[in-house]
Amino acid sequence: MTLSVYLSGEIHTNWREEIMEGCRAAGLDVAFTGPVTDHAASDDCGVAIMGAEADKFWHDHKSAKLNAIRTRKGLADADIVVVRFGEKYKQWNAAFDAGQAAALGRSLIVMHCLEHQHALKEVDAAALAVVETAQQVVQCLTYVQRGTLPSTE
Amino acid sequence: MTLSVYLSGEIHTNWREEIMEGCRAAGLDVAFTGPVTDHAASDDCGVAIMGAEADKFWHDHKSAKLNAIRTRKGLADADIVVVRFGEKYKQWNAAFDAGQAAALGRSLIVMHCLEHQHALKEVDAAALAVVETAQQVVQCLTYVQRGTLPSTE
Amino acid sequence: MTLSVYLSGEIHTNWREEIMEGCRAAGLDVAFTGPVTDHAASDDCGVAIMGAEADKFWHDHKSAKLNAIRTRKGLADADIVVVRFGEKYKQWNAAFDAGQAAALGRSLIVMHCLEHQHALKEVDAAALAVVETAQQVVQCLTYVQRGTLPSTE
Amino acid sequence: MTLSVYLSGEIHTNWREEIMEGCRAAGLDVAFTGPVTDHAASDDCGVAIMGAEADKFWHDHKSAKLNAIRTRKGLADADIVVVRFGEKYKQWNAAFDAGQAAALGRSLIVMHCLEHQHALKEVDAAALAVVETAQQVVQCLTYVQRGTLPSTE
Amino acid sequence: MTLSVYLSGEIHTNWREEIMEGCRAAGLDVAFTGPVTDHAASDDCGVAIMGAEADKFWHDHKSAKLNAIRTRKGLADADIVVVRFGEKYKQWNAAFDAGQAAALGRSLIVMHCLEHQHALKEVDAAALAVVETAQQVVQCLTYVQRGTLPSTE
Amino acid sequence: MTLSVYLSGEIHTNWREEIMEGCRAAGLDVAFTGPVTDHAASDDCGVAIMGAEADKFWHDHKSAKLNAIRTRKGLADADIVVVRFGEKYKQWNAAFDAGQAAALGRSLIVMHCLEHQHALKEVDAAALAVVETAQQVVQCLTYVQRGTLPSTE
Amino acid sequence: MTLSVYLSGEIHTNWREEIMEGCRAAGLDVAFTGPVTDHAASDDCGVAIMGAEADKFWHDHKSAKLNAIRTRKGLADADIVVVRFGEKYKQWNAAFDAGQAAALGRSLIVMHCLEHQHALKEVDAAALAVVETAQQVVQCLTYVQRGTLPSTE
Amino acid sequence: MTLSVYLSGEIHTNWREEIMEGCRAAGLDVAFTGPVTDHAASDDCGVAIMGAEADKFWHDHKSAKLNAIRTRKGLADADIVVVRFGEKYKQWNAAFDAGQAAALGRSLIVMHCLEHQHALKEVDAAALAVVETAQQVVQCLTYVQRGTLPSTE
C-alpha cells in the first residue's frame, strides 16, 4: 500500500524535507508531491513562459494558473493532503488547497503552531489529524501504513 | 431562473446587506444564504448546545463542526459563491470556503481590496469574477440574470 | 432555506416525535423523513406483498430490500441525517445508515447516551454533531437554520 | 486481474490470516488491506502521537480520526469489501464500514454466524455474498478470479 | 415525500394504467413518467421529424436516439424505476433501461411472470423488489410512502 | 414533466424566438435558458463592471468568465442542450458548449445547415438529434414531452 | 496505451477466443476480462459455495450476485465494453450489462447479426460501434490503438 | 510523477512531434496520447471496418463514433489536455474536445495564434495556460513537472 501524500502550504522552512527524510528513515512506502517551492519561479513562471504583463494582477494570474496545473494533479492523485500553516503571511493558498482537498474527499492533516488554533478552527474541523511538528506527520504516516506507534517502533 | 448565491467570508462590515439590498432594489430573483454572522454565537454554538469544554481547541472544534452543517448546505445549494476578504484578520475560513466551492464546481466571485491582490492570486485564478465592491457584485448578478449592464439599466 | 432531515435508527421510543414537535414549536422550516417505524410491518412487508418464504433469511431479505427503497430516497434527499442509537439491541442498521450518509457527504448528527461513547467512536468521528437528547437536536437545527442559540431565543 | 480486498470488522480472531493464507495457498492474485488490528494501538494512536486528552471522548475521537485515514484509503482502493461481524461486542464500526462500502459502490461480502442473521438483514441485503466462514470467502474470491468452484479445483 | 417513478418496458398491455390508477385510488403522492407507448410513433419519430432514411438501421437509429432523450430524463429524475418484462418479444430495451437504472443508483422494481425467472436472474439480483402484478407494485409504493401493508389499509 | 432547455450558439438570427414561440404555440411545458444575446454587452460586460483593460486578451477574458457564470448555470440545470451553428463565424464557443454538455451527460440536439455536416461530424456523433430548422427542434420537444408527431397533432 | 476491454454476453460460441487471438496476432496491447463462461459453474456457484436453496429463485439469486462481483469489477476497469448478442435465448443479462456500461460512460461496441437489428435499436443507439463479426471487433481495436485500417496493415 | 497529456486539435502541421521531441530532449516523464492523425484513415475508418454508407452523413457518423472511442480514452486518462487551433478550417472538434476536457476537470492548455484570440475567448477563459508555440507547451510541462523555468535550465 503506497501512500500518495501532497505537501501543501508554507514554503519558507524545510518541513517538507523533514517529513520526507523521516519517512525515508522509517522505510515507509510514500510517494510525495507538492507545489513548486522556488518562490521566485512560482511568482514569475507565467510571464517567463507566456510573455510579460504590464499589470501586476495579470502577471500573478498567469503564474497562479500555471501553478494550478501542478496543484490539481497533486491533489487528484493524493490519498492524504498535509497542509502546513507557517507563522507568517496570509497563506490563503494553503487554506484554499485545504478546502479543495476536503471537498474532493482527500484525508486532510493540518500542521500549525498553537497560536493559530482559533483562526484555523474551520480547517482543523475538516481534518483527520491536527499536528504541530513534521515528526508528528511522520508518526501519523507510519501508523497509517504500518499500525505501529512511536514507542513501539 | 432563480440564482442561488452563498455569501462567504468577512463578517464585520455590512457588505452582505449591501448586496442583498442592491439586488432587491434591482428586482432580481436571487436566493441568498450565508454563514451565521453573529460572531459570539458562531464561536460558542457548539458548547452552548452540546456542553462546555475545558480545552479551547475542542470548544472551537464543536462550534466549527456545527457551523459546517450550515456551510455545507449553503455551498451545496449555491450556483454562485461570493467570498469576501476584509482588510483584517487571517480569514482562513474564507479561503477554505473558496477552495471547497472551486472543487465542487460552483461559480466563484471573489471580493477584496487591491492590497490583497498578490496574496489572493491562487483564489482569484479560480474565480470567474474578481471585484472590489458590493455594487460590482450586484452588477455581476444583474448581468448574469438579465444580460443588462450598469449603463443600460 | 428548508432543511431536509432524515431521522434514522432506534424505533422504540418517541424521539422522532420529540424532534418534530420541538421544531414545529420553534417554527422551523424542516422537512422530516425516516424509516417505517411500525416494527411488525417493517419486518414482514416483503412477504406480505411479494409472497411467503420458508427460510427466515429470505423472509428478512425481501423486507430489508423493500425498506431500502425508502431509506435510499430519504438519504438521497437529506441535507442532514440524524442517527439515534438506543440503549438496547445491536442496531447495526443505524450504523449502516450512518456509513452511507457519511460516504454520500450528508451532514451527520449522532445521538446516543454516554455509555455507548467508546463503541461509537468511529461513527462520532464522522459526525458534525454528537448529542444525547432530542432537545439538543432541535437546538442544533434551530442554530443551523436561524443562527440563534438556546439562551437567546 | 488483481483483486483489491479490504477486510473490515472483528479483530479478535484470526479470520484475516485464514483468508489471506487460503488465497495464497490457492495461488490467487489478491491485494489485501485492512484496519490496524492491534487493539491497544488502535485505541491510543491519537493521543500517542498528537498528545494526551483529559476527556475520554476526545481521546477516542483523535484515534478514530487517525484510523479513518487508513480506512478511507482501504475502502477507496478496494474492489471488494469483506466485513466480518464476530460473536461479541457492538461492532458498530463494522456496520459503519459496510454502509460506506455500499454507498461507494464497492462489492460487499458479509461474514457472520447464523444467530446474527436478523439483526444484520439490512447489511446482508446490500451484500453480493453472505457467508459464515473464512473458507467460503476464499472460495468466493477463487470463483470471482478464476471461475472455478470448490469441487472442480 | 413525492415519489418519482419511471415505468419502463413492455408496452402492449395496460399495466402502466393499472399502477397509476391503483396509486390514485390509494391517494398516493407519486409522479409517473415513462416512454412513449404509441408503438408506431416510437418506431418512426426520428424519420417523421428529421427526414426519411433508406436504410432500416438508420431509420431505427434516429428514432432510438430521439426516444433516448425522454428515457434519460425519466431515469435521471426517478427515485424508483419499475421495469416490466412481458411474455413476448426480446425486450432488450427493458433490460437496457434496468442496467442504466442500476448503474445510476436508482431503486429498481422488476415485474415479470415466473417463467422468465431464470433468464432474468441478473436483473432481479440488482432489484430491490421482484413482483408479478401491477397490484404488487402499487402495494410496494404504498408501503414505501406510508408504511402500511395491504391487510392494514 | 417540465423540460429544461438551454439554447446555445449562434446569436445573429432569431432562432431562439422561433423555438420559444413554437413551443408556446404548442402549449408545451418547457423552461428555456440561454446566453446573453446582446453581442456588445456580451463582449464588454467584464470591463464595464470590473474596470477597463489595456490588453484585448484580458478585456475578452474578463467578459468570457462573467458570461461563463451564466453558461454554467444554464448547462447545469438543463435536461436538453440545443446548439445551433450558423452559417458564419468560427463559433468555437458553440462547439465548446456542446463538449461540456456531452461530458455532463446532457441530451444534445445540434442544429445546422447541410454544408457544415462534415466539419461537425464529431459534435453530431455525440448528439441525440441533428436538425436543420427551429421547427424541427419544436417537433422534437413536442415528441419528447407528449409522444405526438407532426402529422398527428 | 493499454486498452482494457470487457467481453460481455453470449457464452455458447468462441467469439471471445477469436477476438483475443486476433488481437494477439496483431500484437495489440489489450487486457481482456469477461464473465465466467462455464455455464454450469455460473449457474450454481452461489449454492456450491454458500449452501443449497430449495427455491430456484434464491438458487439463481445467490449465483447472480456472486457473478455480479466479477461483472462490476470488469465494467469498472474497462475502457471498452463489447457486448455480443447471439442468435438464441433471451440474453437479458447482455442488455443489462450494456445498460450499465452506457450509464457508467464506458465506450460500447455491440456485436449481433442483422436479424436482431430492430430489437436492439436502443442498445445500438448508445454504442460507438455496431458490428457483426469478431474480426470487425479486432479491426476496431486495432484502429483505436494504432490508427491503422485493415487495408493498410 | 508521470504527466499524462492528450494532444487534441489541428492535424496538418507537426506540432505534436515538436512537443514530444522537446519533452524527450528535456528528459521529462510525460505519456502522450492523441487522436489518429492520418486524415484519410480518420475520415473513413467507420466504413472501412463496418461497411459502406450511401449517405455522407452516416459515412462520417460511423467514423466519428469510432474515433470517439480513442478520444474518450485519451481524455479520461489525461492530467492535461493541450488543444491546438490551426490557422485554417472550422476545427469544431478541437473546441468540442476542449469543452469535454473542461467539464471533466482536466487541466487545459490552449495553443493558437493571435488572430484567433477573440473567437477563442470562451475556450481560453477555461484554460490554465494559453500559448502560441510548441516550445511554450514544452516549457509549461517542464515547469509543471520540475519547477524550472527556461532561463534556469
pLDDT value of residue H51? 97
Closest residue on chain D to B52 (Cα): D55
**Predicted TM-score of the model (pTM):** 0.97
Cβ-Cβ contacts under 8 Å, H60 against chain E? none
F54 close to A (CB below 8 A): yes
Cβ-Cβ contacts under 8 Å, H58 against chain E? 55, 58
Residue G78 and residue G71: Cα distance in Å, rounded?
A: 10
For residues E41 and E67, is the Cβ–Cβ distance under 8 A?
A: no
Residues G21-66 have pLDDT tens digits of 999 999 999 999 999 999 999 999 999 999 999 999 999 999 999 9
Q: Is the pLDDT of residue G4 over 70?
A: yes
pLDDT value of residue G153? 44
Q: What is the mean pLDDT of residues F45-51?
A: 97
Q: What are the grid coordinates assigned to B56, written together?
A: 479551547
Residues F51-89 have pLDDT tens digits of 999 999 999 999 999 999 999 999 999 999 999 999 888
A69 close to F (CB below 8 A): no
Q: Which pLDDT band holds residue C153 (cuts at 50, 70, 90)?
A: very low
| Touching partners of F (3+ C-beta pairs < 8 Å) | A, B, E, H
Higher pLDDT, H151 or C16: C16
pLDDT value of residue F40? 96
pLDDT value of residue F107? 98
Residue B143 and residue H123: Cα distance in Å, rounded?
A: 20
F56 close to A (CB below 8 A): no
| Cell 390509494 found at | E26
| Touching partners of E (3+ C-beta pairs < 8 Å) | C, F, G, H
| C-alpha distances in Å from residue H57, one per residue of E43, E50, G139, G143, H95 | 21, 13, 22, 21, 21
Residues E29-79 have pLDDT tens digits of 999 999 999 999 999 999 999 999 999 999 999 999 999 999 999 999 999
Q: What is the mean pLDDT of residues A58-78?
A: 98
Q: Mind listing the pLDDT tens digit of every residue in chain D (153 residues)?
A: 899 999 999 999 999 999 999 999 999 999 999 999 999 999 999 999 999 999 999 999 999 999 999 999 999 999 999 999 998 888 999 999 999 999 999 999 999 999 999 999 999 999 999 999 999 999 999 999 999 999 744
B8 close to A (CB below 8 A): no
* Nearest CA distance, E94 vs chain C (angstrom): 20
**Of F40, F28, F39, F32, whose CA–CA distance to F16 is shortest?**
F32
Q: What is the mean pLDDT of residues F3-17?
A: 97
Closest residue on chain F to H72 (Cα): F103
Residue B142 and residue B27: Cα distance in Å, rounded?
A: 9
D66 close to C (CB below 8 A): no
Q: What is the mean pLDDT of residues B1-16?
A: 96
Instruction: Give all strands (DSSP E) within chain H, no chain letters.
Output: 3-9, 30-33, 80-84, 107-111, 129-131
Evaluate whether chains H and C are touching (3 or more beta carbon pairs less than 8 Å apart).
no
Taking phi over 0 as left and psi of -120 to 50 as alpha, with beta for the rest, E25 belongs to alpha
- Cβ–Cβ gap B93/A117 under 8 Å: no
Q: DSSP letters of G80-103?
A: EEEEE--SSS--HHHHHHHHHHHH
* Nearest CA distance, G14 vs chain D (angstrom): 17
* Pick from F33, F41, F76: CB nearest B149: F41
Residue B8 and residue A100: Cα distance in Å, rounded?
A: 16
Mean pLDDT over each residue of chain D, to the nearest integer: 96
pLDDT value of residue B141? 98
| Cell 391487510 found at | E151
Q: DSSP letters of chain F?
A: -PEEEEEEE--SSSHHHHHHHHHHHHT--EEEE-----HHHHHHHHHHHH---SSHHHHHHHHHHHHHHHHHHHHHH-SEEEEE--SSS--HHHHHHHHHHHHTT-EEEEE--GGGTTTTHHHHHT-SEEESSHHHHHHHHHHHHH---GGG-
Q: What type of residue sits at position D95? A: A
For residues B62 and A66, is the Cβ–Cβ distance under 8 A?
A: no
Q: Is the pLDDT of residue C152 over 60?
A: no
Q: Write down all domains in chain H, each with its CATH number in brackets.
A: 3-35+75-146 (3.40.50.2300)
Phi, psi dihedral angles at F111 (to 5 degrees): -125, 115
Task: Note the ipTM here.
Answer: 0.96
Q: DSSP letters of G5-48?
A: EEEEE--SSSHHHHHHHHHHHHT--EEEE-----HHHHHHHHHH
| C-alpha distances in Å from residue D92, one per residue of D9, D55, D120 | 9, 21, 11
Compute how many other C-beta atoms are within 10 angstroms of the C-beta atom of residue F137: 26
Can you tell me whether residue B84 is helix, strand or coil?
Answer: strand
Kindly give the residue spans of alpha helices, DSSP state H, lying in D51-133: 56-77, 92-103, 121-125
* Pick from E1, E127, E130: CB nearest C33: E1
Q: Please, how many CA atoms are within 13 Å of residue D141, restricted to the half-sphere of its CB? A: 32
Phi, psi dihedral angles at F8 (to 5 degrees): -105, 155
Residue G82 and residue G110: Cα distance in Å, rounded?
A: 6
F54 close to B (CB below 8 A): no
Mean pLDDT over each residue of chain E, to the nearest integer: 96
Residue B148 and residue C149: Cα distance in Å, rounded?
A: 42
Q: What are the grid coordinates assigned to F56, written together?
A: 484585448
Compute how many other C-beta atoms are within 10 angstroms of the C-beta atom of residue G124: 23
Evaluate whether chains G and E are touching (3 or more beta carbon pairs less than 8 Å apart).
yes
Closest residue on chain H to A5 (Cα): H1
For residues F147 and F5, is the Cβ–Cβ distance under 8 A?
A: no
Taking phi over 0 as left and psi of -120 to 50 as alpha, with beta for the rest, G70 belongs to alpha
